[in-house]
Copies of this chain bind each other. A is one copy, B any other.
């Protein structure tokens, strides 16, 4: 548990070395109308993305997905979209469609091209083992999206 809760040098360096993590932080700070996070370090803002297996088991799956969790999912995929935009110039939309049971779709698209298309399951428990894992997963999605955008530029610009 000490690893999950530490806010130390390692976490900070993870954030500063990952353009994707920086993109998520930017998304969250951009939505921070009341300045709640103004004095927070980047790694503290990202901490809720780290949910240990044990913690996941403790989150009940009944009832609507928590609005904060939804916002977290949204910021994650908006971060993906922002990174793809930086590389390809394609501006994209993020659509998250969750049922009341936490099942659903996340779609990131530009023109008529789906850059990311993922099903979500147990969205209540959205999270990763570590910050490195967040960066890894996001970067994978970004790379796949950039690859698609480059292979089918005309579809992305429709």
For the complex formed by this chain, how many copies does it contain in all?
Answer: 2
The tally of residues in A whose CB lies under 8 Å from a CB in B reads 18
- Chain A at the B interface: SS class: strand
Q: Are A148 and B95 in contact (CB under 8 A)?
A: no
Question: Which chain B residue lies CB-closest to A152?
Answer: B155
Is A113 engaged at the interface, CB distance under 8 Å to the other chain? yes
User: A4-12, A40-48, A80-88, A104-112: which lies at the B interface?
Assistant: A104-112
A113 CA to B111 CA, complexed, in Å: 9
Task: Return the CB mask of A137-158 against B: 1 if under 8 Å, else 0.
Answer: 0000000000010001011001
A52 close to B (CB within 8 Å): no
Chain B neighbourhood of A95, CB < 8 A? 95, 97, 105, 107
Q: Within the complex, which residue of B93, B117, B154, B158 is in contact with A112, where a contact is CB–CB below 8 Å?
A: B117
Interface residue ranges, A against B (CB under 8 Å): 93, 95-97, 105, 107, 109, 111-115, 117, 148, 152, 154-155, 158
